[in-house]
Amino acid sequence: MRAIRVLIVEHDSRRRASLISCFAPGGRPRKGFSVAGAGVNLTNALAQVVEPGPVDVLVVDVDRPGLRRLQGWATLRMLLTGTRVVGLTDGNRRSIQAAMAAGVTCLHPHTIDCPTLTRVTRRAHMGLVDYAPELLERARELFLDPVDEEEIRVGGVTIDLKRREVICWGRRIRLTSLEFNLLSYLAQRPGEPITSTELLQGVWGLTRHTGGTEAQVKNCIQGLRQKLEPNPAFPRYIIARRGLGYLLHDPLED
């Protein structure tokens, strides 16, 4: 019987190495499995595939921003026709909804252990649905009693709209009220440039005719970068597009 060819997509290098070791401990393939490739995103993972042949199972971090929308899943399905999917998540609401709507075969937490992962991958290859009980319960709650989105995640940044808190890679970032309002405004339209004029109106409630200036936006952006960016001189999150405005970018998508 042919080994199950597994493709792994995980942006975190440690988690990716851990997933690879589940299917190839010590670099040697586990019986019944073959790691076709692994990478930080789908394009990168597919570029690692050396031996020709179909990918049977994709193990992927479904919390990636690109997979929180069905367009991302449509692209994935087009590139990997017939491939079963084992999704890994931390329980993010939008991730679970998108994964279920996209027909993900199996869904489990990032903390999954190797014996469970290999068992689940075999079940996925057979087309058997396998959801971790806690995620299945969470999914039922979401679909039977939907609530407003209270949390936005972009890369390693979590924006809690209800508590008005920002966590960057596990570290709480203290923002002024104005900085938080500006960040959350950008976060609700990730990847989309927003002009200074619109930001003035949406965040400050001002126009150029009522005292609003581009310098107000620029100064607030600079303050955000000082607190959020690893290197404010070379921003990775809050990007300026000449003539178009500012956008919130997910550096993990690069």
Domain end point (choices 110, 144, 178): 144
Q: Which two tokens stand for residue 5?
A: 């060819």
**Mean pLDDT confidence for 231-235:** 90
Same domain for 174 and 56? no
**Rounded distance between C-alpha atoms, residue 116 and residue 120, angstroms:** 6
Give the pLDDT score at 198. 92
User: Which segment of 68-72, 181-185, 238-242 scores lowest on mean pLDDT?
Assistant: 68-72
Give the pLDDT score at 145. 53
Predicted confidence band of residue 7 (pLDDT cuts 50, 70, 90):
very high
**Rounded distance between C-alpha atoms, residue 218 and residue 46, angstroms:** 40
**Could you say which DSSP state residue 232 is in?**
T
Give the pLDDT score at 68. 67
Same domain for 13 and 86? yes
Q: Shortest CA distance to 183 belongs to which of 251, 249, 243, 92?
A: 249
Res 254 pLDDT > 60: no
**Mean pLDDT confidence for 109-118:** 95
Give the pLDDT score at 245. 93
The mean pLDDT of the chain is 87
Predicted confidence band of residue 156 (pLDDT cuts 50, 70, 90):
confident
Predicted confidence band of residue 253 (pLDDT cuts 50, 70, 90):
low
**Mean pLDDT confidence for 46-58:** 88
Give the pLDDT score at 37. 92
Sequence-ordered list of residues with C-beta below 8 angstroms from that of 24, at least 6 positions apart, any chain: 30, 33, 35
Same domain for 156 and 236? yes
Res 148 pLDDT > 80: no
Same domain for 168 and 85? no
Domain end point (choices 121, 144, 167): 144
Q: For residue 108, what is the domain's CATH number?
A: 3.40.50.2300
**Rounded distance between C-alpha atoms, residue 208 and residue 247, angstroms:** 21
Backbone angles phi, psi at 104, to 5 degrees: -60, 130
Considering its fold, how many domains does the chain have in total? Answer: 2
Same domain for 159 and 195? yes
Same domain for 61 and 107? yes
Give the pLDDT score at 76. 84
Res 179 pLDDT > 70: yes
Give the pLDDT score at 53. 84
Give the pLDDT score at 183. 95
Q: Which two tokens stand for residue 84?
A: 């079963």
Same domain for 182 and 116? no
Same domain for 76 and 167? no
Q: Which two tokens stand for residue 23?
A: 């299917």
Q: For residue 237, what is the domain's CATH number?
A: 1.10.10.10
Give the pLDDT score at 147. 46
Q: The domain containing residue 11 runs over which residues?
A: 4-144
User: Which segment of 12-16, 84-88, 95-99, 102-106 scores lowest on mean pLDDT?
Assistant: 95-99
Is the separation of the CB atoms in 60 and 40 below 8 Å? Answer: no
